[in-house]
């Protein structure tokens, strides 16, 4: 996989010729509605050009797999074959193996660096005895780079069939899916949620559903609701009993607690509540995780941060989701939603008190469109990454890229002469986030939230990681 940034004068045909990939392939991976319209500064995912094989008379899938050194199942998956015993003469099969033709001036080091592998890996798979002796026109097999295995969670706020339809086509990319959310009531009961179809879809596709418990009241997190539960031992026992019942009845595999804006004086109460939850749930085979605000230090002030005890959560629960997004938010001034400079500052603190194998980094799947000059009290509009690019194309805006934030943005003027500033995510910004997961050797990542159009994210994710399943 490569990422290409569109330049002035580029056409999709020109880009396809450069990389040896069809226009349709590039358009499909990037969700391009009109392949003739590209936006300057837009990042395109260029899929890997795999080997192709034309089926000959008498050939079987077993023979073809042995010829190329790949498994039958890999060929079946790459070509969506429903019956592996039926092949047709002249049928073109994609062989999930990559070759490189040596060009003038190339070295093995340059080739290995280009494909994200090593010289030793290339020499071994091609049986090269002297790495310094390669020749122009030589065909080299490029081994697949070793991918880090991670856990991937995805929150979903759409319920019923709509939510299930969001999960189904992306299930291969998830370890967990987390319907948002069940609310804890003042009497210790748990609010119902139309999540049955999502849970069924997840379980049928090898994804573990997590029950998300929040201190939501009406449409926002409520400090008093959290205090009511966290200060009453009897209520806590009732809550935990009700959680266990719901986990068993609905088929959830674990619990994710997202209590936000907890009063600072309830920090230890929250920690003790988590200990009680783990004590009851873990023997039953359920995981327990929490969602944490993005803190820069232990004594960070603010209602959002003070009761979130990183060290205690890291010790008590199975893993934590750190919500490393919303620096740019719907009610704030324009900026990147998840500037990597800020994300890394949070992680720099987190890894000092939480084991790396318990940290799941939050990743946004959306952006915002602000009216500018920005005024206090005005709200931004949520946009999907694909929608953001379409807006730039509609108004002739060139997409720029902030190297400090590692995030794309642009400005435009609409029909009413109102100016706007848009920050969003693209293949480049996601690649940096995935590099960060690898650099910090984290457990994995968690998406907020399914439902936005971002087709190019998934091949970027797949190119970087192997997704853990339970």
Q: Is there a contact between 186 and 228 (Cβ–Cβ < 8 Å)?
A: yes
Distance separating the N- and C-terminal Cα atoms of the chain: 27
Q: Whole domain around residue 226: which residue ranges?
A: 148-467
**Is 15 part of a structural domain of the chain?**
no
**Is 102 part of a structural domain of the chain?**
no
| CATH number of the domain to which 282 belongs | 3.20.20.80
Tokens representing 13?
């045909």
- Spatial distance between the Cα atoms of 435 and 414, rounded to a whole number of angstroms: 36
Please report the beta strands in 103-253, taking only residues with DSSP state E, as ranges in sequence order: 139-142, 148-156, 176-179, 182-183, 208-214, 216-217, 220-221
Q: Is there a contact between 124 and 84 (Cβ–Cβ < 8 Å)?
A: no
Q: Is there a contact between 440 and 14 (Cβ–Cβ < 8 Å)?
A: no
- Spatial distance between the Cα atoms of 409 and 305, rounded to a whole number of angstroms: 29
DSSP designation for 137: T
Stated pTM of the model: 0.88
- How many residues are given for the chain? 470
Q: What is the dihedral of CA 22, 96, 457, 409, to 10 degrees?
A: -50
Residues 6+ apart with CB under 8 A from 184: 190, 191, 213, 214, 215, 225, 229, 239
**Is 335 part of a structural domain of the chain?**
yes
Q: Is 462 a catalytic residue?
A: no
How is 313-347 classified by DSSP, letter by letter?
A: HHHHSSEEEE----SS-TTS-S--SS-HHHHHHHH
Q: What is the dihedral of CA 177, 181, 187, 189, to 10 degrees?
A: -40
Instruction: Pick the catalytic residue from 260, 387, 421, 425.
Output: 260
**Is 241 part of a structural domain of the chain?**
yes
- Spatial distance between the Cα atoms of 314 and 309, rounded to a whole number of angstroms: 8
Q: How many domains does the chain have?
A: 1
SS3 state of residue 362: strand
**Is 232 part of a structural domain of the chain?**
yes
103 CB-side CA count, 13 A: 4
**pLDDT at residue 420, as a whole number:** 98
**Is 338 part of a structural domain of the chain?**
yes
Q: Is there a contact between 332 and 422 (Cβ–Cβ < 8 Å)?
A: no
**Is 449 part of a structural domain of the chain?**
yes
Phi, psi of 104 (to 5 degrees): -60, 130
- Spatial distance between the Cα atoms of 400 and 121, rounded to a whole number of angstroms: 37
**Is 275 part of a structural domain of the chain?**
yes
Residues 6+ apart with CB under 8 A from 306: 264, 267, 300
- Spatial distance between the Cα atoms of 95 and 76, rounded to a whole number of angstroms: 9
For every one of its 470 residues, what pLDDT tens digit does the chain have, with 9 covering 90 and above?
889 999 999 999 999 988 878 898 899 899 999 999 999 999 999 987 777 788 999 999 999 998 888 889 888 877 878 787 889 898 888 888 888 889 899 999 988 887 778 899 999 989 999 999 999 989 898 887 778 999 999 999 999 999 999 999 999 999 999 999 999 999 999 999 999 999 999 999 999 999 999 999 999 999 999 999 999 999 999 999 999 999 999 999 999 999 999 999 999 999 999 999 999 999 999 999 999 999 999 999 999 999 999 999 999 999 999 999 999 999 999 999 999 999 999 999 999 999 999 999 999 999 999 999 999 999 999 999 999 999 999 999 999 999 999 999 999 999 999 999 999 999 999 999 999 999 999 999 999 999 999 999 998 998 899 999 99
For 464, the enclosing helix (H) or strand (E) is: helix 457-464
């Amino acid at each position: 996989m490569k990422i290409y940034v569109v330049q002035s004068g580029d056409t999709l045909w020109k880009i396809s010729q450069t990389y040896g990939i069809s226009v349709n392939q590039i358009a499909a991976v990037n969700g391009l509605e009109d392949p003739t319209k590209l936006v300057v500064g837009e990042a395109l995912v260029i899929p890997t050009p795999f080997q192709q094989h034309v089926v000959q008379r008498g050939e079987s899938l077993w023979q073809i797999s042995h010829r190329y050194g790949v498994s039958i199942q890999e060929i079946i998956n790459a070509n969506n074959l429903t019956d592996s015993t039926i092949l047709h003469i002249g049928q073109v099969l994609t062989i999930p193996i990559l070759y490189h033709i040596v060009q003038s001036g190339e070295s093995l080091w340059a080739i290995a660096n280009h494909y994200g592998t090593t010289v030793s890996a290339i020499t071994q798979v091609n049986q090269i005895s002297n790495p310094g002796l390669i020749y122009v026109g030589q065909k080299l097999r490029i081994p697949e780079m070793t991918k880090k295995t991670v856990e991937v969670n995805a929150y979903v706020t759409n319920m019923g069939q709509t939510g299930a339809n969001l999960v189904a086509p992306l299930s291969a990319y998830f370890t967990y899916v987390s319907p948002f959310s069940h609310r804890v009531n003042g009497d210790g009961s748990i609010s119902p949620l139309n999540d049955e179809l999502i849970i069924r879809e997840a379980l049928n596709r090898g994804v573990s559903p997590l029950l998300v418990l929040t201190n939501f009241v009406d449409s926002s997190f409520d400090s008093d609701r959290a205090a009511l539960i966290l200060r009453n031992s009897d209520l806590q026992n009732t809550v935990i009993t009700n959680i266990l019942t719901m986990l068993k009845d609905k088929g959830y595999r674990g619990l994710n607690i997202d209590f936000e804006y907890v009063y600072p004086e309830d920090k230890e109460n929250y920690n003790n509540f988590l200990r009680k939850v783990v004590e009851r749930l873990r023997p039953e085979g359920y995981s327990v995780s929490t969602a944490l605000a993005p803190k820069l230090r232990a004594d960070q002030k603010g209602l959002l941060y003070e009761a979130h005890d990183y060290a205690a959560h890291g010790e008590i629960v199975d893993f934590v989701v750190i919500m490393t997004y919303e620096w740019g938010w719907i009610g704030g001034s324009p900026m990147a939603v998840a500037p990597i400079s800020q994300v890394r500052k949070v992680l720099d603190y987190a890894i000092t008190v939480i084991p790396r194998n318990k940290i799941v980094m939050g990743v946004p799947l959306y952006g915002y469109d602000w009216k500018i000059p920005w005024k206090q009290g005005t709200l931004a509009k949520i946009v999907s990454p694909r929608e953001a690019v379409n807006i730039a194309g509609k108004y002739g805006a060139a997409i720029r890229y902030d190297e400090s934030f590692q995030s794309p943005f642009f400005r435009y003027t609409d029909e009413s002469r109102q100016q706007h500033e848009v920050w969003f995510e693209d293949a480049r910004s996601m690649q940096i986030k995935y590099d960060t997961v690898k650099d910090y050797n984290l457990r994995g990542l968690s998406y907020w939230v399914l439902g936005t159009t971002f087709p190019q994210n998934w091949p970027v994710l797949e190119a970087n990681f192997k997704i853990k399943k339970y």
